[in-house]
Amino acid sequence: MFRLAARKQSQFVSLVTKRNQSFWASIQKAPADKILGLTVLYNNDTNPNKINLGVGAYRDNEGKPWILPSVKAAEEILSKTEVNKEYVPIVGSPKFNELIKKMLYTNDEAGLQLLKDERIVTAQGISGTGSLRVLGEFIKTFHSNKKVLVPNPTWANHVAILEKSGLITDKYSYYDFETNALNESGMLADLAAAEPGTVVLLHACCHNPTGVDPELEQWDKILDVISEKKLLPILDMAYQGFRSGNPIDDLAILFKFNKAVADGKLPNFMLSQSFAKNMGLYGERVGSLSLITSGAEESVRVKSQLEKVIRPLYSSPPSHGSKLVEIILSEESIYNQWLEDVKIMSDRLVDMRALLYDKLKNTYGNKLNWEHLLNQKGMFCYTGLSEEQVQKLIEKSVYLTSDGRISIAGIYPANVDNLAKAIHEVTSE
């Protein structure tokens, strides 16, 4: 009798437990984000000489975050002139979008023609990441081909963004792991083998993670293949200004795409663009997206459907960052200050590449070829370090991703000698 009662009590407890069990009880812990996980390790490291080369955010010559003088000037104006915190329209502030069109599409003849023909639909996005997600949703909804080719390698979040949009990703050859340069022949061959209508993601400049960009004549070959195979390109432009030191000069690739459309070689392309890096507005999450259409009537239809895509995602974009961008792009003195700010950041990255190269070759006499440190562009360098060497560096309190990518912005005069010494040691064993 006692055992029967005990069993019934146990069954009752089990039933109650199941009834009150969390709906999320079966969820497994996700692996840590590779880059953000590095930051956690770095923050927990007590070594005073630790070095963080993981996160892609600009740092000054003292290794500190930098609010651009142009942004500070814009903040000061905004604090005196802002009259509301109301919602902006679904596709963003009209003034913001007009200024984006002016910046991106009025510096070349073909871009001006596309504007005149009302072939450009522009929307404010949640930085480049959110802009690409919207484009992914738009492709999933309206494009017959759901496959997107991305460079091998690419920023890891690119794949996640596109696949969460319901698209299928595959890779095309991009980086030559033997020469630390562009695999031009492999890239062209893979694009030529793609099915017509396939979407192809391209980095406009300062490729993440490799820092390797096609030269202008190589872009001509790439565009020829895209045109012949009738592919749909997305240009991702997160580092505008960091290649040449001038945001307008870094639009050279966009100009080629504009001309290809104006000349009838391409019917369409898409663009996602960010102000995170070149204005230092990381946390403000402000950027833009553009879709090139066949004409004014199609643009009206595309914009209407773009609003339908954005509305259930986030309703409308945040306004503070876009207001700062509006001031910077419309006030001549602040705009000129911004151009100077971008040049300062770009020049420092170039200087740190040269300094690290000098330390490795001349101070420590490292026998490896480090020319790619100087040849690659922008915030990142693909070092060629193996996973084993990366792990040994982490043990020396030098934090970088397992693929050997380093953020040049994390290098500054006070830590470059320790960094060069550590790299020399792990590559000379």
Residues tagged active-site? 155, 236, 277
> If we measure between CA atoms, which residue out of 57, 80, 135 comes closest to residue 306?
135
The helix (run of H) or strand (run of E) holding residue 272 is: strand 270-274
- Rounded to 5°, the CA angle 338-339-343 comes to 115
Residues facing residue 326 across a β-bridge: none
Residues facing residue 52 across a β-bridge: 399
The crossing angle, in degrees rounded to 10, of helices 332-358 and 320-330 is 100
DSSP letter (8 states) at residue 410: G
Phi, psi of 382 (to 5 degrees): -90, 105
Residue 23 to residues 28, 30, 308, 419: CA-CA distances in angstroms?
Answer: 13, 17, 31, 48
Count Cβ atoms within 10 A of the Cβ of residue 19 and give its class: 0-12 exposed, 13-18 middle, 19 or more buried: exposed
Single-letter amino acid, residue 289: L
DSSP characters over 187-253: HHHHHHTSPTT-EEEEESSS-TTT-----HHHHHHHHHHHHHHT-EEEEEES-TTTTTS-TTGGGHH
Are 345 and 242 in contact by the 8 Å Cβ rule? The answer is yes
Give the dihedral of Cα atoms 300, 306, 308, 311; nearest 10 deg. Answer: -130
Phi, psi of 187 (to 5 degrees): -65, -50
Say how far apart CA 74 and CA 86 lie, in whole Å.
19
Say how far apart CA 318 and CA 320 lie, in whole Å.
6
